Structure 1
């Protein structure tokens, strides 16, 4: 589904203001290489500033790399123009971290889901909107609601519905459960697992939370300071981590203390 080879990406250093010449650049991704097989669920993990969200946006060509190659289903998309990318965009979709900022507050849910369908000239838009709502477990009357009338978990389901309505091959989910309570997190993770199975999706799931990734993902890529420090099957990485940074991430997972008294109701 995806092949990334020697990917490098940098941003201008806005804190530097040279009197002569161009501002120096900060390297965010450094010689990143990996493959994502069709039908797999791959976790991309790392701490804040590791480059994982930048990597996700580069994969979908929301950012253009400096060097390296990105291939989607065998096609090199590294430097395609926006016009060349447009037919491909319905095949790879993104679910954003904050649904309140990614959903137009002035549009009803039905219009939000219908927007990409109309943009890509899809027929039977009303039926496709209804199907998408049904697949994410939202009632049909939610099509008439506005984002501010929904809970955080419901808004995230709308974001998922918008992504799957185009029937893509690949979805990138960027920290989509980080702002939800534990119950809503579990529901969204279960939903993603069901959609991967039922729709034959390939999923890349960006997160800083290894406990969440362990539940959902078959494979894990660990990023640190723009480098891949480790990648492999989820059970192997949890049981036999090779990189010191991976071990530090695993050690940071909070574990319940069996000797701590519970003060709940």
Structure 2
């Protein structure tokens, strides 16, 4: 039994030390190994207050995301894909910030592995996108992808998935279009809509039914704020969206987009 435990520990150490992060940034591509990132010239130790995934303060070895995103411009669009298929759609501009809310790549050191996220689960490693001072940029929980395997430069969501688009006759600043932008930021990492999107987690939010068709508006808003307050089960994965991250006015626009799309069903 002791030999088996030692062998298992060696396998875990090998897995962590062999972890790699693939960056596909358009004109440039790079694969980083754990050991390389831990020796990066800008690596440092950082304590994240009230970490979104661990629900407590956590200390990590980190590299600024801005130092890794070679050639990326603020107007670019990125997608971070996790080992389990979670696909976070990320505007590049916040990731490049050097003041205010700042993005960091946390690197799990095989010699000092992170704790599991919950009993029976893996840690957030080997790579985890974390934020310092997230309240200064209204950073959503969906902008904290963990178990990250790759980060890719992508075409904007509207170009890749036209089935997500609101009525093209609406003005650019229409609240429904603003709600669409919020949907991309807060929902698309886990949900598809009209079969469109890369997410493999949550249900489609329009096919066969849109949540505005079976939730009263107030209950839908309550569910988005705190899912466990309406439906409780141990394996629930949907995070709550506080008023700090998603103010009431933005929540209203997000629900408005969903209600609008209930009239624009496109079967996959």
TM-score, normalized by length of structure 2? 0.24
Which of 1 and 2 has higher RCO (CA within 8 Å, sep 6+)?
Answer: 1
Greater strand proportion: 1
TM-score (ref. length: structure 1)? 0.24
